Amino acid sequence: MAASCAQCGRTAAADDRFCGGCGSELSTPCTHCSRPLPTDAAFCTACGRPQQRTPGRSVPCTRTVGGSASCSST
Ligand SMILES: [Zn+2]
Ligand SMILES: [Zn+2]
């Protein structure tokens, strides 16, 4: 299965993780089993675990503690 770069359109090999044309990321490893996945994959195709990444989407901080916003990710 050939992938193509979302940034420059260059065709990449299935196991390429970065674009050879512009260097942008083509895939990222599963956070659980490290299998290379497309950057837009919501779930791992190897272990089925949901991926924590939210590309292109910012998560608004809706939680407030003691009157001040608290969105610590640590
Ligand atoms: Zn590219
Ligand atoms: Zn996995």
Q: Where are the domains of the chain?
A: 1-74
Which single residue is written with the structure tokens 């001040």? 68
| Residue owning tokens 């970065």 | 18
The number of residues making up the chain comes to 74
Tokens encoding 64: 């407030």
Ligand nearest to the CA of 19: 1
- Predicted TM-score (pTM) of the model is 0.48
Q: Ligand 1 centre from 3 Cα, in Å?
A: 11
Q: What is the pLDDT of residues 40-49, one digit of tens each?
A: 889 999 999 9
Residue 30 CA to ligand 2 center (angstroms) comes to: 5
| CA 4 to ligand 1 centroid distance, Å | 8
CA of 8 to the centre of ligand 2 (A): 27
Average pLDDT over residues 19-45: 88
